[in-house]
Structure formats: C-alpha cells, structure tokens
Amino acid sequence: MLRFARSIIDTVFGRKRPLEEEEEENTLAKKQKLDNVLHRVRVSNLPQIDYASLKKFLKAQGYTRLKKAPKWNYCFITVNNEEEAMECVKKLNGHTFKKNELKAEYDPTSEVEYRERFSKKNKEQADPNDTRTSAEKLADQVTPFWRLDYEQQLVKKNRHGVKALAALKKKLAGFCDDKTKHQIGWARDRGMLPCELLPVIGSPVLQNYRTKCEFTIGKNLNNEPTVGFLLGLYREGIVAVLEPDECLIVPETAKKIAKYMTDYINASDLPVYDRVEKKGCWRTIMTKTPSTGEVLILIQMCSTDVPPERVQQEKADLIEFWQEKSDISVTTLLFQEWNGSSNGITDKAPIEVLTGTGYIHEELLGLRFRLSAHSFFQINTPATEILYSKCAEWCNIDSSKKTTLLDLCCGTGTIGLTMAKSVDKVIGIEMVPEAIEDAKINAQLNNINNVTYYASRVEKAMHHVKNERNEEIVAVLDPPRNGVHPSVIGAIRENSRIERLIYISCDSKQAVDNFTALCRPQSNKYKGLPFKPSRAVTIDLFPQTEHCELMVEFVRIKEEDYQEEEENGKEQEEENQGEQK
C-alpha cells in the first residue's frame, strides 16, 4: 500500500520523467532510429490469396516484417537499412508468384511522416455530421445490434444461415461432370436451401454475459490514460479508448477491474503504450469472470524501456494493489511482457503467475472445467449449454449400438466431455498440446474415464478412428472462425466409418468452403463418398452483436442412394426443361 501511495504522491506533485531509452546493441537498428527512417519495399501485383499464404511465401524468401490490408493487391516489407531494401527489390522484382509477376520498389518513409499520415487518415474519416455521443460510437463498434429489439436481432442472424446454405447449393451447381454429378442430385431441386433450416434459437441472457474480455490500455478523447475498448478499428487510424461502463455485454466485475486498472496506471509514472509510435509500457488487460465467481486477470506490459528491476517492482505493486480490493476477489493474477509489434494478449510470450495457480474454473451442464489464460471456452455459458444440448440431441446416440463420439478440434474437451455419458467412447483430436493437457485434466476433474485424446492434426490422427471396433461413429467438428484446412475435410471423407457429422460454425460465411468440400462429388483430393446436409439451425451465443452459431448436420450418401439421386436429378432436369419450353 505504501508503494502505491508514494506513486500517487509522485503523480500529484510532479510526474516522474519517462525512463530514458537504453542504448541499442544493434548499430543498424540504432542508426535507423536516429535517422527516423522506415526502410520499406513495396511489393505489388500480388495474386488473390490469403494472408497466411503470402506470409509463408515471404518467410521462405527471408522476410518476416510484413504489412498488408485485406483489400490491398500490394504489401510492404520492412528491413533494417537501404542496402537490405535494395537486395529485397533485386530478389522479388520480376519474381513469379502464383502466376503473377511481382513488382518490387524501394519505398522508404520517415516515422514522423508515417504517424502524420495515420493521424490524417483518422481525421479524414471523421464524419462532420456524426452527432453520436462517444458512448454510442463505442456501442456501435462493440455491440452493433444494440439499437434493435431482440426479435429483430434474431431475424438478422438467421439470414446468415440462409445465405450460407444458399451459397453451398450455388457452389455445388458448378460441379457438372457427367460421371459424378449424380452424387449431388439432391442439390438440383428448385428449393433455395439444400436442407431444412429450423427456427432460430435465442440466448437466455442478453446482457453482461461475456465471461472473457480483453481491454486496451490507451488514452481517451481527453488524452487521459484509460482502460477500455478502441472507439473504432485500429487499422482505420482510430486509437482513442473509451471505458466500458456502458457496454451492454461486459459483466459488472470486468467493468470494475477496468476502472481499477485505470486508477492504477494514472497513478503510475510509466506511460501507456502508444500503438502508433510503438512506445510506452501498459498495453492490455484480459479478464475472465465465469459463473463460478472466480476471477482471472492478465496484465500485459511492454518492457523495452523499463529496467528489469523496475519490472519486478511493478509486479510486486500489482500484487499488493489487487489484494487490497475488497469488492473483487482475484483468484489468479497473471503478467505478460510483450515487446512485439502485434497488439493484444499473445501466445508468443510466456505468462507469469503472480498469485494463485494460474487457473480458474467454469461449470457447464453439470461438469467443471479448468481454464487457463489461453484456454478457449465459449463466452456465454447459458447459451452454450443450449448449443451443446442441441448438438447431443442431433448426434442421436442409439443406445442399442456401441458408439464412439469423435470430437474434432476438441480444444479443452468441452463438447466431448458433456456427451461422454451417452456414448461408449470419446476420441478428442486437437493440434494444440496445451489444450489437450487441459482436456485430460477436465476429464479427471469430472471422473470421466472413457475419453482418449490425441495432440495431433486431424488428418494424421484419423487412423486411430479407423481401428475403432464400435458399431457407430458420430463426429462433431467445432473449428476456429475461419474453418479447417481442406486436408481435414479430405480425411473425414476418406474415413468411411464416419456416416454423420455435426458441424458447428461461428462464422457461416467462412464455413461455406468446408461445407462444399464435404458435399462435392468424389475427386482425387476428396476420395470418400460425399455428405449432404439434412438440417441446420442458428443458435445465438452473442446477443447485441452480429455474430451467431450455425449448426449443420451432414449425413453421408450411400452407394445404394445413387440410383435414386440420379433418377430424381434427371426428373428435375426434365421438369425444368419442360417449364423453359
């Protein structure tokens, strides 16, 4: 307490000067900093590919400092000096990448010019006729559906499912090879959707439901240190931060934590991190506040300009500060030093446990789950219970058969564990080893013994499934927002033991490619018999926002179905031709 009081006195009677920068060891980096030059190479005429593929290509060429916006057909590569820049131009100019001949040119800029351009862009995008208050702007950014009543929100969310299923049917129409098109005869009927879309299911809670929040530490519109949310997108030049006091989806405990952290950094002589200049100390704070009442706080600092002994002192001050808060019982306090350019909590730097065990717990459908800072867990627990219960219902476990549930991209094991009592065996596959360790511990916490986990890529672990002796295998796939790699879909299709798949998507637009790969006719890449959608439903886990979950049941087409599918397809084509005449 005395240390914190002294820091307040320092603030009131004269804020200390920011710490002097330590001398750079790298002379090239030092010269670049003194000259205030950013040595960049502009690479244009890029093919239309995803960012990950471009990053992989440039990394193979020896370049890792890359900047590219989604709509750009060019990118910028940053190097240490002009000599390296010219070498980069020589290497990439005229190079053929994905059938495109690249154009590379040296395009240096000063740090001052870069910041001014960033600030100018922000001002240009400000609408002079915008009469919204700051709180309304933040609400439109974080909770864009807040102005709509909930029934209207559900109508809009259900359209996501309609568009995704309609897009699937449209994509399948492009597969017209005479030898295989009979495999998708079901997709040629006149209906807009390829399967039944059931009535949308809403969330039982509409506000204060978000159990995980990540707050930016920056400055508000009055240039005061603040903990909260950015008022807009950083890539659009918006860097002002507003406190989350009026944000509908943030729980009260998280709001208190943000306010207390604002008090702490205002009393500190260490500056907040400036995202444009990439200088400063306090960067991000993450909270996890599950229904059990436990609290996890993770504070992130940039320590580039802070001596190690001062970092240690800040850790001690943070421990003392949070232990004195009688209205918030912090279960575990964590700390991360991150000096990289990317913003937000990262898995590229270690997390240090300051107090507690580093873990908290959440309860779901009668089970207890251990959560770490990086553990994925749905942020709306009551709505998640509805989603998982509906998934279990659709899995339609036949008690007369010995059944294996295949939990793909299982994360910390939530879906498989909640269904473990209804099946003979659960197999969970997840490529993140830390998540698998959490899943094993969660199984032990709940005395569940019929689960086996593999820390592996799905396609590499699929042979374990082929050796299963149980009569029926039901698969559940709950992938990240951008879906799974085509090789995963290929592995699912190639395993003939899997006759039914429940796909849970949190971004149906991005899932369409996966849906198409599941249903398209056989090919060298997709050797197994195709699936077809049998039913789908939209379930809302994110009230006040545009996001929702789309759950689709896919069943595999059997050889004996082909004749019927082919005949139905021919009849439909003849009927359509007759109508055209």
How many helices (H) and strands (E) are present in the chain, helices listed first?
16, 24
User: Please, are residues 537 and 390 in contact by the beta-carbon 8 Å criterion?
Assistant: yes
How is residue 12 written in tokens? Answer: 């009131």
CB atoms within 10 A of CB 420: 21
Is 478 one of the annotated binding-site residues? yes
User: Please, are residues 370 and 359 in contact by the beta-carbon 8 Å criterion?
Assistant: yes
Is 378 one of the annotated binding-site residues? yes
* Residue 176 is a catalytic residue: no
Question: If DSSP states are collapsed to H, E and C, what string results for 158-205?
Answer: HHHHHHHHHHHHHHHCCCCCCCCHHHHHHHHCCCCCCCEEEEEECCCC
Identify the three-state secondary structure at position 454.
strand
Alpha-carbon distance of 58 to 426, in angstroms, equals 41
Which residue from 200, 202, 171, 164 is spatially nearest to 187, judged by alpha carbons? 171
Burial 25-64 (b: 16+ CB within 10 A, else e): eeeeeeebeeeebbbbbebeebeeeeeeebeebbeeeebe
User: Please, are residues 392 and 420 in contact by the beta-carbon 8 Å criterion?
Assistant: no
Alpha-carbon distance of 541 to 387, in angstroms, equals 8
Alpha-carbon distance of 509 to 165, in angstroms, equals 9
Alpha-carbon distance of 227 to 219, in angstroms, equals 8
Alpha-carbon distance of 177 to 479, in angstroms, equals 30
Q: Which of 195, 506, 519, 548 is catalytic?
A: 506
**List of residues 6+ apart from 380 with CB closer than 8 A:** 203, 205, 209, 210, 211, 541, 542, 543
User: Please, are residues 310 and 277 in contact by the beta-carbon 8 Å criterion?
Assistant: no
CB atoms within 10 A of CB 497: 17
How is residue 157 written in tokens? Answer: 């969310």
Which residue from 453, 527, 519 is spatially nearest to 490, judged by alpha carbons? 527
**List of residues 6+ apart from 35 with CB closer than 8 A:** none
Q: Dump the DSSP string for 379-410.
A: S-HHHHHHHHHHHHHHHT--TTS-EEEEEET-
Backbone angles phi, psi at 176, to 5 degrees: -120, 20
Positions annotated as catalytic residues are 506
